[in-house]
Structure 1
Amino acid sequence: MTIRLLLVETCSPPRPPADALTAEHGLRWSLALEELVDRRGGRRQHAPRDPRGGVLSLFGIPLGAAFLAGALRGRDVEVLHEPLILEARAGRSPRAALVEAVRRDAPDVVGLTANHTVEEHVTLEFARAVKEARPAARVIVGGTHATFRAAALARSADIDAVLRFEGEASLPAWLDALAGRRALDDVPGLVARIDGRLVAAAPGPPVDFARAVPDYGPLHAPRYAQAGILAHVQTSRGCPHGCPFCTHAAFWGPQVRYRDAGLVADEVLFLHELGCDLFYLTDSTFTEDRGRVRALCDTLARRGADRPVHVVETRLDRLDDEVLGWLARAGVGVVVLGVETAAPEVLDHVPGKRFADPARTVREAVWRIRSHGMRAYVSLALGLPGETDETLAATERLVERLYADGDGLLWADAKLARAFPGTSLAREPARFHATVDPRYEGYDFYGGVTLHLDHGATAERILATRRRIMEHNVRAWRARRAEDAERVARDVARLLGTREEARCDAT
């Protein structure tokens, strides 16, 4: 019997911007991306007017679902997909689209990907909606957030199982158990209620990622590409660093596993042919291994996969001119630097990122990146342990100086530090002299402060610093693209009108 499996991403419509600065900040970010692709001769399909702006990695073709579909090739499983992200970006209800898909396609199993902590409540709502629309359907949940909140999610009467860590191994095993070919408690990484008790099976070994091939066939990839969605490509899994605010090492493991460079190039070329012009290569530290990064960059350039704009993320201690030359030849347009802060005393809490003069190190790195024809995207985390009014001021001064140095800085992304489940900040907040807000609805990067420091900077100072850094971004891009002033003003007015409509609807 063929099992019909519907894979969807947990997501919610973007919230209207809180004010004019937030609206313009998001719009200017979209225009910055548009300029990048224009300079490469791209097709400009990637730059919708998205009011959120500023987080490169959150919105893209569902890569996890593509890898799951690839792992199920040759099995008696029909993989279905509903592009809820596109519904959300269009301002429509992804929950309503999910219910419609469940009623139309009559799946036996609905798999929900729950990666984002802020949307735990949405995951529970989606599970309930599936059960109401089709009570016979099984609901399974996986993803980063689900892995570290598995017990809490599995207690829901609407969720039949949570599959922790990499789903390429656990999902086929769970489907075998559903078909009676395997014991349920033998499924690696399973957390579920069995005979009235909560059972948690040990996770299996890391999957063999070298030959992993995602299957975009069931995922409506052309629709995503035509809508201007960012393309995510994963060339490795694993991170040896274990930063206290990050889940990568805990989820993927400390050992880095690399995909075959030829398979990566095949994937880039396939998605570029569909219309994707902007690629985020999602490795935790793209330049972790010099030999690997050189071989991969050589392959991308040789195969012609350097035509779209690539974005890569790395650390300051994994960059030099030789590496930057390889990146530039491979089509990299943006290098994301995990800077976090300009203060050495805050970096004391972040493994491997301690520099005597972080501000100088960052400015030199941005200059070198620009000298190779690329731009830098500086990722900041405000409110980490050790943050004070003085360290916040130092980080803001760094952003000012980077913009004053020239056009090497593309964007300064001032996120708020979060104690996501699975991080050492969440497990041991007392060790960091902090308390954690357990209300996950506030855990988006641009909401309020949820990591409260026992000593040091107050929430008000942290939020004020973030706002001033947003103002620096806006001022810089007003100067760089003065011709966009009328267009941006019109879009800001439209977005603020949307906010007022939402407020009236709520009242």
Structure 2
Amino acid sequence: MRLLLVSANRERSPYPVFPLGLACLVPSLEAAGHELRALDLCFEADPEAAVTAALADFAPQAVIISVRNIDNVTWPGSRSYVAGVKAIVDRCRGIATTILGGSGFSLMPAELLAFTGGDLGVVGEGEEILPEILALIERGESPACLPGVVAGAGAFAPPRPVERIAAPDRRLFALARYRREGGMANIQTKRGCPFGCIYCTYPLLEGRRMRLRPAAEIVAELRELADAGIDYVYFVDDIFNYPPDFAEELCRAMVASGLTMGWSAFINPQFITPRLMETMVAAGCDAVEFGTDSGSPAMLRNLGKSFGVEQIRESSRICRELGVDFAHYILFGGPGETPATIAESFALMDEVAPTAVIAMTGIRIFPGTPLFERAVAEGMVTPDEPLLEPTFYLDPAIRDVLGELVTAGAMTRRNWVAPGLEINMSDAMLEAMRHFPVRGPLWKLIKRLGRSHAKPLSQRQ
């Protein structure tokens, strides 16, 4: 079959993200004998016109639409992407079979399929199941009985996890442009998350059982990226440093390979030791991001974190002593949040002195998470409420003052970034920052900023 692979993601804040999920589909689809063409809408000025042109030029029999996110999970400055996905499906209707997938789609598959009017949807990982779906379609048979296939409003069989995670094939996509405009490429070393953060969707998308790629295979992929001109990568794993022995094995393999590529990753403060961080630095790591969520012991427990304040302190100390830039991500507004717990987070961040603090206000509610169950129990949402539009958990104790409290604290601290409140983070500022010769996360440039900047809350819609 002729297959058009469409990356629906158009979000470029804080930087454009390469469509890794679609690239992972390419090897198995080509092995099954399909003819492929890719359309990445991230850089298209008129996405609907681009879809129409691709349909006319390529005449695909099926269009595979990857939905990375359904919104920007940011409050109060939320942006929904679902209308854009529907517009793509509308252009394809009557011309080719439309199959939706991707992490965003998999969070609310029946709802998104119904909203967009797509023909089919694939929940979870598609590398193995998609060729089976297409084979049935070619024979004129329905694939609705296959694992993870959504064909309407009814129930569907649970997805089948991929056992062997193959390396992606990036040749159909503009890798150089992502490097030029985003400053890095992305790579995944494992799937699955065994942790219990109450809001997190990774266990829903990838399962709780971890599946690791061989270190030698990862290094080979890194070498391919280096040969393509990539000099910086971001490891998109939910947690790079878990399991710790695997992270160390990979870093030692990178050192042995002689690669001189810079990189950063999202890590858990519970599993950082001086030896592991030293090995990471030797392998090219120059920045890390901690999924800290709070500086309050009570809030860490409420959010289901696996670590405490002392581990946040110790991991931060290790980064400082080794000269590694580091950022802590903080989530304000969760269950039990009060002005006092907010103050604890500010105080701890002042103490550990990271390069940057990325503060998110409100926590996006997704079906299937413990946070959703709590929101239902507290009457914030109903069990069958459609959540396609951005819906956030904000503890009633601070709902009316959260924005003001975070703004007041962040504006007096130069290293704080609050995307939803546009404190040291706006689309215009990001565009300006991209002109700096930086590789990796833009928050590393926070040291070059002057006083904090924000758009007054009264001017936001």
**1:149 and 1:130, CA in 2 relative to 1: closer, same or farther beyond 3 A?**
closer
**1:323 and 1:463, CA in 2 relative to 1: closer, same or farther beyond 3 A?**
farther
Secondary structure class of the residue paired with 2:160:
coil
Contact 2:302–2:335 under 8 Å retained in 1? yes
Q: How does 1:94-493 map to 2 (within 5 A)?
A: 94-118=47-71, 122-132=81-91, 135-156=94-115, 158-180=117-139, 183-193=142-152, 198-210=153-165, 212-305=166-259, 307-355=260-308, 358=309, 360-403=310-353, 409-416=354-361, 417-431=363-377, 435=381, 440-442=388-390, 450-454=392-396, 456-462=397-403, 464-465=405-406, 468-469=409-410, 472-473=413-414, 491=432
The amino acid across from 1:413 in the alignment is I
**1:117 and 1:399, CA in 2 relative to 1: closer, same or farther beyond 3 A?**
same
Write 1 or 2 for the structure with the bigger share of helix: 1
- Distance in 2, Cα, partners of 1:127 & 1:288: 37
**1:272 and 1:469, CA in 2 relative to 1: closer, same or farther beyond 3 A?**
farther
Secondary structure class of the residue paired with 1:177:
helix
- Distance in 1, Cα, partners of 2:147 & 2:214: 25
Aligned to 2:8: 10
- 1:66-125 deviations in whole A, cap 9, x for unaligned? 1011222321211211221233xxxx2333333332333222211121231317964454
Q: Which has the higher contact order (CA 8 A, sep 6+)?
A: 1
**1:71 and 1:464, CA in 2 relative to 1: closer, same or farther beyond 3 A?**
farther
Question: What's the offset of the Cα at 1:396?
Answer: 1.8
- Distance in 2, Cα, partners of 1:153 & 1:344: 37
- Distance in 2, Cα, partners of 1:206 & 1:184: 17
- Distance in 2, Cα, partners of 1:283 & 1:303: 21
The amino acid across from 2:162 in the alignment is V
- Distance in 2, Cα, partners of 1:155 & 1:440: 11
**1:152 and 1:435, CA in 2 relative to 1: closer, same or farther beyond 3 A?**
closer
The amino acid across from 1:10 in the alignment is A
- 1:394-433 deviations in whole A, cap 9, x for unaligned? 2122333333xxxxx2221112322133422124414578
- Distance in 2, Cα, partners of 1:157 & 1:333: 42
Question: Could you list the runs of 5+ residues in structure 2 that have no partner in the other structure?
Answer: 73-78, 418-427, 436-461
- Distance in 1, Cα, partners of 2:213 & 2:115: 36
- 1:327-346 deviations in whole A, cap 9, x for unaligned? 11111111211110111111
Contact 2:176–2:229 under 8 Å retained in 1? yes
Number of corresponding residues = 415
Name the TM-score, length of structure 2 as normaliser. 0.81
The amino acid across from 2:297 in the alignment is P
- Distance in 1, Cα, partners of 2:123 & 2:55: 24
Contact 1:147–1:163 under 8 Å retained in 2? yes
The amino acid across from 1:353 in the alignment is S
**1:73 and 1:86, CA in 2 relative to 1: closer, same or farther beyond 3 A?**
same
Question: Could you list the runs of 5+ residues in structure 1 that have no partner in the other structure?
Answer: 15-51, 404-408, 444-449, 477-486, 495-507
Question: What's the offset of the Cα at 1:222?
Answer: 3.2
Contact 1:165–1:251 under 8 Å retained in 2? yes
